[in-house]
Amino acid sequence: MDTNALPGNVLDPNCPSRVIFQRIGDKWASLVIQVLGDGPVRFSELRKMVHVVTPKVLTQTLRALERDGLITRTVHAQVPPRVDYELTSMGESLLQPLTLLRQWAESHVPTILEARDTYDEAQDDLLLGSSN
């Protein structure tokens, strides 16, 4: 009997919502989506904008996002090749929650950096203080 007949329970590892939640939180995926918020961008531009990501990892990220229907990949038959990545409407719908999160992060930078300093100093004191 699973306690999660609900469609979404991020705490249940068997629930797809957890996988999806973690895909959104992916190191690069969320950045890519935010970059694409201003319109289609080609591969090499993405690499420059979301620096410093290696081509392998960027490709993996883009494929995963494409597979999940968040972006589209359009190959223009020309040489040198041109490939545009663009948000789908579902991808666009993710923009707002992601932006809120980014704004939270940006507005709390000073507080967090301060907390880190305090924490690190306390750790130093522990190590040096008792000489155990």
Structure tokens belonging to residue 102: 């980014």
Q: Which residues contribute to the site for DNA (CB under 7 A)?
A: 26-28, 42-45, 52-57, 59-60, 62, 73, 79-83
Q: Residue 82: name its binding partner from DNA, a copy of itself, none (Cβ under 5 to 8 Å by kind).
A: DNA
Least Å distance between CB 118 and DNA? 19
- Residue type at 41? V
Rounded Cα distance, 94 and 23, in Å: 12
Residue 30 as a binder of a copy of itself (CB under 8 A): the answer is yes
Of 57, 103, 121, 125, the one binding a copy of itself (CB under 8 A) is 103
Rg of the Cα trace of the chain?
20
Of 57, 90, 126, 127, the one binding a copy of itself (CB under 8 A) is 90
Strand partners, 85: 41, 73
Q: Residue 129: name its binding partner from a copy of itself, DNA, none (Cβ under 5 to 8 Å by kind).
A: none
State the pairing for strand pair 41-42/71-76. Answer: unpaired
Stretch that binds a copy of itself, among 61-69, 76-84, 124-132 (CB under 8 A): 61-69
Phi, psi at 57, each rounded to 5°: -70, -35
